Amino acid sequence: MNHVLLTAAILAAGLTASAQKPDAVLRFNEPAAHYQESLPLGNGTIGAMITGHPVRDRIMLNEISMWSGGVQDADSDTAYRILPRIRESLLAGRNKEAQQLLQQYFICKGEGSGHGNGANVPYGAYQAFGDLTLQWKDTLSPWTHYRRVLNLETAVARTSWQRKGVVYTQEAWVSIPDNILAVRITSARKGGISFTAALSRKEHATVQANKGALEITGQLPNGGQPGLRFAGALQVKTTGGRQVAENGAIRVENADECLLLFSAATDYNMNDYTQNGADPLPLVRQTLQRSSARAYAQLFQAQQRAYLPLFNRSRFRLDATAPGTDTLSTPARLARYYERRPDPQLPVLYYNYGRYLLIGSSRPGGLPANLQGLWAPEYQTPWNGDYHININLQMNYWLAPVTGLQDLSEPLHHYIRNLVAPGQKTAKAYYNAPGWVAHVITNPWGFTSPGEGADWGSTLTGGAWLCEHIWEHYRFTRDTAFLRQYYPVLKGSAEFLEAILIEEPQHGWLVTAPSNSPEHSYIMPDGTRGSTVMGPTIDMQICRELFGACIEASRILGTDTAWTRKLAHTRSRLAPNRVGQAGDLNEWLHDWKDNEPKHRHISHLYGLHPYDEITPWNTPELTAAVRETLRQRGDDGTGWSLAWKVNFWARLGDGDHALELIHKLLRPVPPVNPRGGGSYPNLFCAHPPFQIDGNFGGTAGIAEMLLQSHGDTAVIRMLPALPTESGWQKGAVKGLHTRGAFVVDMSWDKGAITHASILSTKGGACRVLLPAGKQVSGAKGNIMAQPGPAARIVEFATLKGVKYTIR
């Protein structure tokens, strides 16, 4: 967008009441009574949740590094001595004994995650930063004409109401370039604004007024050691009236207009993942000083200039409308959709929201989005709000490369790299192996040991699964410098797996041992139930993917040829995918029964998605087996499990089934007594509780329905899983990225492509499944591929920076 247009768009966004676009606006007609009704704002570092109460307003504050706990040594250093015994038990089929040994000798030292309640043990928990409250002076007169909307196209939350006939508005956003939360309050009556603003935190904090600003500082617990230091500051700028800082609060009296600026920081050190960074208080003071010296319009424009280009990189549109949905509240729309009344814009809103939430919770140079992105009102967040790596953290980033937010994966890549050093120590301690390992739970303090329960905490491919994100980033961007920088991370993970593989006795296949299939358990033919196994299917798929990636990467980088030759041989000896008696894919090395036939994790379908070794066109038999697995598991599940299933069905080319799962993902879930997966009123995904992975996974699933580029040859497939529902038959999407570094825009009508373009960002061969009757032409109209009577795969050479047209 050019400068003039951008400025016009910014002004329109700021000056008019937010247009109620049903694909881009969340709306409430009441203040939020629960955080699952609040409107999230964020810049990847600072988060805020807007409740918009006209009398006692509460804005929940977050800072992404607000972690209790600290670096600890949780490795049981002599665990490796017991490894041969564990393996012996497994090889002899005494899995129960193996699991007992694991529980006794092979878990982490200390309290681990504190059974998911780690706020006060060294593991720590992601915590609320605190609250900004606004207590209005007039507590009695009722309010009317209430509206609270979040406009995803501008990232602004706007609340308006009337009291005694006077219109009040509150406009809030979090600035990417200035790292502040800005809240502007206006009144239609001169001198109409009187309230008291306060900062508070339930524990470990003090609040003081300093030179007219409020400052909150403190230190979090770290199991007896000094923990993370944090600081936040609030400054209020008023026009008219006056303000007084007293009793740890700022009182505003009779102002015409008011701007609150808040910033926060901690002494978390991103470079070495310790809490020895700079003192956060001077940092926060500086940030506030800089921003408060600038006019509101300047701050706002700077933020819009940073946000709009990110958000607009990909836009998705369905042309069908459902009258009335543009004036309904978001929870009302969820309720209608659940009754199967048409609202084609709701999935589009979900797509936009997922991208909005990633922009809000993942900022280059910072920590990755955690289990709740960065929006958490609790001091003991569920599961410590940590980084689970047996699906959850990975799912958070599925949407990034496809929907044009690849640069927002940087925090994830950096995070993975920071796990290498502690993971090397863990690999030595437990497996006496080279390379690095991370198991199931990780935190920003470099926790890589197994979890405290052998039944869930000993999956050993968490780190290797993370490596997929490095390889996929390369596949999407073909950024060789990135690959060179991160190749040692891949290699270290592969070296670990290579070293720990053992030969299983029946076929001589190589398998991981001991491990488990994430959080699921089996029933052995003799009735034994357990989790510990050798060679769970997911581990084998991850090994194949990672070894394959290393082999390919070493070829691209011209390095390590001897090692990868050996690795290729090892890869060929890994236990293969196998179909069981019941026609489903085996989750375990043996065709054992599922202990929980409807289990939320469907880990053995990793080979279908996210990894792409099972595809309908290359492996039809395995494809039939994964369909059967999905049929057996059923369509219900926790929020993220539903989101994964959207992706599975999209990969299977079944858009109707994928849409069915989107319906489930959008099932309304109440904030109190939630049951079953779905969406809270503010569209936060309900596990329940709130977990953001489902939002991100669902968004990735929608992208996957519209465009795919997986499989060995990464053929671009347009509309591979478009639902037959009428609302989806006409639409357009722009800015979807593919493997091989192409960017696709396309529009369709009656379910068929009408027009598409493919931008080649790196040059090289492009392979596309060309729809029947369509041709590809290049920049000067030269024909690259002729139309044919049926859809077929065509390949043509592309030039970097050139857009190719399909029509």
Stretch of residues binding ligand FUC (CB under 6 A), selected from 237-245, 382-390, 502-510, 699-707: 382-390
Smallest separation, CB 116 to ligand FUC (Å): 8
Burial of 242 (0-12, 13-18, 19+ CB in 10 A): exposed
Smallest separation, CB 349 to ligand FUC (Å): 24
Report the distance separating Cα 629 and Cα 597, nearest Å.
Answer: 10
Stretch of residues binding ligand FUC (CB under 6 A), selected from 64-72, 311-319, 387-395, 741-749: 387-395
Report the distance separating Cα 40 and Cα 51, nearest Å.
Answer: 9
Report the distance separating Cα 108 and Cα 76, nearest Å.
Answer: 6
Nearer to ligand FUC, 367 or 707 (CB): 367
Of 106, 262, 379, 383, which one interacts with ligand FUC (CB under 6 A)?
383
CB 407 within 8 A of CB 473: no
* Token pair of 574 as six digits: 């890994």
Nearer to ligand FUC, 355 or 600 (CB): 600
Nearer to ligand FUC, 410 or 519 (CB): 519
Stretch of residues binding ligand FUC (CB under 6 A), selected from 310-318, 385-393, 610-618, 754-762: 385-393
Stretch of residues binding ligand FUC (CB under 6 A), selected from 12-20, 253-261, 388-396, 706-714: 388-396
Nearer to ligand FUC, 424 or 449 (CB): 449
Give me the helices (H) in 397-479, please: 399-402, 410-431, 454-457, 462-477
Report the distance separating Cα 69 and Cα 226, nearest Å.
Answer: 9
Nearer to ligand FUC, 75 or 693 (CB): 693
Cis bond before residue 689 (omega within 30° of 0): yes
Of 158, 473, 600, 717, which one interacts with ligand FUC (CB under 6 A)?
600
The reply to whether 113 sits near ligand FUC by the rule CB under 6 A is: no
Smallest separation, CB 18 to ligand FUC (Å): 33
List Cα–Cα distances, 452 to 90, 109, 528, in angstroms.
20, 8, 22
- 787: amino acid identity, one letter: P
803 SS3 class:
strand
Nearer to ligand FUC, 489 or 692 (CB): 692
Report the distance separating Cα 252 and Cα 240, nearest Å.
Answer: 10
Report the distance separating Cα 287 and Cα 305, nearest Å.
Answer: 19
Report the distance separating Cα 719 and Cα 540, nearest Å.
Answer: 31
Smallest separation, CB 107 to ligand FUC (Å): 16
Report the distance separating Cα 109 and Cα 116, nearest Å.
Answer: 15
118 SS3 class:
coil
Smallest separation, CB 576 to ligand FUC (Å): 26
The reply to whether 388 sits near ligand FUC by the rule CB under 6 A is: yes
Nearer to ligand FUC, 159 or 458 (CB): 458
Smallest separation, CB 204 to ligand FUC (Å): 25
Of 285, 657, 687, 774, which one interacts with ligand FUC (CB under 6 A)?
687
> Cβ of 387: how many Cβ atoms within 10 Å?
27
Smallest separation, CB 136 to ligand FUC (Å): 39
Report the distance separating Cα 787 and Cα 370, nearest Å.
Answer: 47
> Cβ of 35: how many Cβ atoms within 10 Å?
22
Q: CA nearest 106: which of 428, 449, 399? A: 449
Smallest separation, CB 390 to ligand FUC (Å): 5
Smallest separation, CB 634 to ligand FUC (Å): 16
CB 365 within 8 A of CB 270: yes
Write out the binding residues for ligand FUC, residues 504-533 only, by CB under 6 A: 519
Write out the binding residues for ligand FUC, residues 407-446 only, by CB under 6 A: none
Stretch of residues binding ligand FUC (CB under 6 A), selected from 29-37, 61-69, 134-142, 386-394: 386-394
Q: Which residues pair with 161 in a beta bridge?
A: 168
Nearer to ligand FUC, 473 or 687 (CB): 687
Smallest separation, CB 388 to ligand FUC (Å): 4
Nearer to ligand FUC, 677 or 723 (CB): 677
Smallest separation, CB 222 to ligand FUC (Å): 22
State the residue for tokens 């309720």. Answer: 335
Write out the binding residues for ligand FUC, residues 116-175 only, by CB under 6 A: none
Of 372, 406, 615, 691, which one interacts with ligand FUC (CB under 6 A)?
691
Write out the binding residues for ligand FUC, residues 350-379 only, by CB under 6 A: 371
Nearer to ligand FUC, 287 or 372 (CB): 372
List Cα–Cα distances, 158 to 41, 61, 183, 660, in angstroms.
11, 17, 10, 33
Smallest separation, CB 55 to ligand FUC (Å): 36
Nearer to ligand FUC, 95 or 392 (CB): 392
DSSP state of 575: P
Of 45, 372, 392, 424, which one interacts with ligand FUC (CB under 6 A)?
392
Quote the Cα angle for 345-346-350, to 5°.
115
The reply to whether 638 sits near ligand FUC by the rule CB under 6 A is: yes
170 SS3 class:
strand
Q: CA nearest 733: which of 720, 797, 710? A: 720
Nearer to ligand FUC, 348 or 357 (CB): 357
Nearer to ligand FUC, 119 or 510 (CB): 119
Stretch of residues binding ligand FUC (CB under 6 A), selected from 384-392, 426-434, 443-451, 492-500: 384-392
Smallest separation, CB 382 to ligand FUC (Å): 7
Output Rg (C-alpha) for the chain, integer angstroms.
Answer: 27
- 682: amino acid identity, one letter: N
* Token pair of 252 as six digits: 């505003």
Smallest separation, CB 640 to ligand FUC (Å): 6
* Token pair of 400 as six digits: 């990034």
264 SS3 class:
strand
Smallest separation, CB 315 to ligand FUC (Å): 30
CB 800 within 8 A of CB 478: no
* Token pair of 301 as six digits: 């424009």
Judged by the rule CB under 6 A, the positions of this chain that interact with ligand FUC are 371, 383, 388, 390, 392, 519, 600-601, 638, 640, 687, 691
